[in-house]
Amino acid sequence: MPPLPNWRTSVMDCIRNDGRSTNQQQLLNSWPHHESKLQRLERATAEELVHPLIFVIATSPFFSVTVSAEVSSSLQVLIVGVIFLVGLMCGYVARKSMRDLGQPPQSSCPMPRGIYSFKERFAEQLLTGVDKKNLDSWLRVMSVHYHMAGTERGQQLAMRIEQAWKGYGVDNTRTEVFKPLLSFPDKEHPNEVRIMRGNNILFNTSETGPEAAMAVKPFSAYSPSGIVRGKPVYAHYGTEADFALLRSKNIVLNNTIAIIRYGKIHRGYKVKLAEENGVAGVLLYSDPFDSPTDRSNPSRGMKLQGDGVERGNLKSYPGDPGTPYLQPQVNDVYMPPRSDRKSLDLPSIPVQPVSYNDARQLLNNMSGSMAPVEWQGRLNITYNLGPGYSTGDDVQVEVAVHNILQRSNIQNVIGVMMGNFEPGRYIIVGCHHDSWTKGAGDPGTGMAALMELVRLFGSLRKNGWTPGRTLVFASWDAEEFGMVGSNEWVQAHEQELYHRTVAYINLDQAVSGNSSLYALASPLLRQALKEAAELVPCHEGAHTEMSVYDMWRMRKPRVPNNSHAPPLIMPPASGSDFASFLLSLGVASAHLQFVGKDPASDYPAYHTAYDTYEMVVNQTDPGLRSLASLVRVVGVLLLKLVDSLQLPMHAADYAEQIRLDYVVFEKTYGSLLKDHNIDLEPLSKSLIQFEQAALNFHDNYEEMNKNNLLLALQEYNDRLMQLERAFLLPAAYPHHPHYRHVIYGPDVDSGYRSVLFPHLTAAISNARQDNHSPSWNRVRECLSYVVNALRSATNVLSSAVVSWHTAEL
């Protein structure tokens, strides 16, 4: 539904300096013609200031009264008199209530109905109200049992979350149930990996330690069932370049079993590439080379355990594979047969994860040439490429997988604090509650943070705070199966969310180390993140005089070795619940966490049975100091997004990020495209026009409505919401139905890393491989979509339909 103009749900902060930060005041003073508009608003008559109701009604362009000539003058006088008396009573009661509560007035003028603003006293209550004991308690709750999606444990946890939110004061809390297609191992027939000589078993993988105690044994979700045998090959990380190297050495990959390390790219991409190269089955393992080994430094997490096994799903897209574009709770929706894995876009070869203890046995004594130096790991063996074993040509690896697909109930818990002034504008914060194992780090730290945020905002509301915009809390289910719960919820409420959601903030694995804050965020949210982190004191004892922002900038600068540069904030790609919001709906999104020195490898317990409460509190975040700091940062961020009259978003930040990344894009692909007569001049021109529109947008917001500064701010905020939407592909675009964002998204090679112009770079990569004319025409098509998106964004900011200089809302 389109946004409805409404004076009650969109009007503004009292146009005064009272309660406004120094930075805010300086920003306001920099806007052209600001003083004259202030003076005009402050020339309201004494009667209008005394009677807030009359002030609001009389100044609203949506209120007009036409009195028929047939209505008597006495009746007109009576109507005006009633309105006057009601306004007088409202003004008296408002002032008396303020005096009775012993609160000083927040402004030298009474606050008309419909006025709200970010107030630092509420931020201070959030900062001082964080309770580490409560964080610890919820971390225990989230990690006492395993709680996979679609299981009874998962359902019980969702019920406990819902009850807790209601107890914290979020009365509008409910559970939304979906029934997607999930994947589970068969309890009666466990998955197995063996080294075989004929019918003789030479080696059999097995679970030991905590893995043996898990109710659900390690598996790769959405792997098909099947038993395959073949000679082993070592395929490094299983990237396209890795398989190309194997082919260059004339290694026959058909009907082999590829042993592949986790890392570099999504596990689903590894399997897809293996399948394309004729591999019969895949074994996945975590090599200690890719994980930290220094136990003495807590920020480096804990050592990778030899019997730990990383689980994960193999899908390369979010949501329910059975209903990729439809809501699964609708019973009469067509669903492809579960045997039709091509239509479901699921792997067709068996896949099983193993521990590195077992991988050592599987990789040892392999035949073939020695793997390149950069392929060698830390299993204390010589890594050979294969195929086969040096102990005999008849020795093979057998992979037996008995996974099943079944529709299972999942539960999303949704809590809503309705906005008092703009209820039709949503700020959403979410984290998933399902886990492969006990999941203390992932997602336990994120869920503990979310539970504390709900408690804090519930406490604020009990103490008199009311949200300006609507604040939505979401606890997602089945994220581990490929963001299923969040994606299905987005599909179920797509139109409402598209038109009303301002921002989505994601938590997930909130703490994997304690070195620094780390953020993936839409450039639109950069300013809000900066302002929030600046208000939170650093939790490190040696740096208490610094803010979290200062430490973030020092530890993770955008320019390496330059502590004066702003912190590194990368645009999100995929991999967590923000994906559907940002990449499908065009909602500005951010993912926040505290990390160690190397975010890529500082959490080796990821998705293993070693992800426990003890691991988090003893190794990852002793004292939960980083987790408490994250709650403070996210709490202030939410408060700013919910209560700031003018959204703390800057279009110019988006233009700057694109410009910086375009330099790399042009350097990487410019010559190649020129060789194929593909001109980048239209793209360069559209980028310059967008950047100019973005720079002008902030300073000239008043021009959107010269007659009403307050409604100009509403228009300003609405256009910032629309900006991210302008970067979406048409819904019917067939090549990338799941990820529609043409400016930023996951790259085609990894599925994780965010790249500029993802569809265009994917088309270039494909055309470079086959070098046929249709493929290069596809590049031209994708380039046109990018240019069109940038022009659309420019139009959003510059109002191509209605000139600002003549607009009257």
Verify that 720 and 595 share a domain, yes or no.
no
Q: List CB contacts of 798: < 8 A, sequence separation 6 or more.
A: 693, 696, 697
Verify that 230 and 205 share a domain, yes or no.
yes
Q: Is the pLDDT of residue 33 over 70?
A: no
Interval 100-106 mean pLDDT: 33
Tell me if 131 is assigned to some domain: no
Tell me if 127 is assigned to some domain: no
The answer to whether residues 449 and 424 touch, using CB atoms and an 8 Å cutoff, is: no
Cis peptide before 443 (omega within 30 of 0): yes
Verify that 435 and 504 share a domain, yes or no.
yes
The predicted-structure confidence for 418-476, as pLDDT tens digits, reads as follows: 999 999 999 999 999 999 999 999 999 999 999 999 999 999 999 999 999 999 999 99
What is the tally of structural domains in the chain?
4
Tell me if 332 is assigned to some domain: yes
Residue that is last in its domain, among 626, 643, 660:
643
Provide DSSP, 17-31.
STT--HHHHHHHHHS
Tell me if 735 is assigned to some domain: yes
For the chain, give the percent of residues with pLDDT over 90.
69
Active site residues: 479
CATH of the domain at 429: 3.40.630.10
Verify that 271 and 327 share a domain, yes or no.
yes
pLDDT band of 35, cuts 50, 70, 90: very low
Residue that is last in its domain, among 65, 85, 115:
115
Verify that 219 and 367 share a domain, yes or no.
yes
Verify that 638 and 490 share a domain, yes or no.
yes
Residue that is last in its domain, among 618, 643, 668:
643
**Could you give the 3-state DSSP secondary structure of residue 56?**
helix
**Picking from 14-28, 559-573, 624-638, which range would have the lowest pLDDT averaged per residue?**
14-28
pLDDT band of 105, cuts 50, 70, 90: very low
Interval 349-360 mean pLDDT: 98
If one compares 309 and 105, the residue with the highest pLDDT of the two is 309
Verify that 98 and 109 share a domain, yes or no.
yes
CATH of the domain at 745: 1.20.930.40
| Gap between the Cα atoms of 646 and 699, Å rounded | 13
Instruction: Give CA separation, 718 vs 376, 417, 427, 649, in Å.
Output: 53, 21, 14, 11
Tell me if 527 is assigned to some domain: yes
* Host H or E run for residue 273: helix 267-276
Verify that 396 and 255 share a domain, yes or no.
yes
Tell me if 126 is assigned to some domain: no
The answer to whether residues 713 and 646 touch, using CB atoms and an 8 Å cutoff, is: yes
pLDDT band of 735, cuts 50, 70, 90: low
**Picking from 9-13, 113-117, 339-343, which range would have the lowest pLDDT averaged per residue?**
9-13
Interval 304-333 mean pLDDT: 83
* Host H or E run for residue 591: strand 588-595
CATH of the domain at 222: 3.50.30.30
Strand partners, 226: 401
Provide DSSP, 325-364.
TS-TT-TTS----TT-TTTTT---S-EEE--HHHHHHHHT
Tell me if 120 is assigned to some domain: no
Verify that 403 and 414 share a domain, yes or no.
no
Q: Is the pLDDT of residue 19 over 70?
A: no
| Gap between the Cα atoms of 16 and 28, Å rounded | 10
**Could you give the 3-state DSSP secondary structure of residue 473?**
strand
Verify that 347 and 447 share a domain, yes or no.
no
Tell me if 437 is assigned to some domain: yes
Verify that 444 and 536 share a domain, yes or no.
yes
The highest-confidence range among 65-74, 405-414, 554-563, by mean pLDDT, is: 405-414
pTM of the model: 0.84
Domain of residue 29, residue span: 7-115
Verify that 270 and 395 share a domain, yes or no.
yes
Among the listed residues 226, 244, 228, the one whose alpha carbon sits nearest the alpha carbon of residue 236 = 244
The predicted-structure confidence for 200-249, as pLDDT tens digits, reads as follows: 999 999 888 899 888 899 999 999 999 999 999 999 999 999 999 999 99
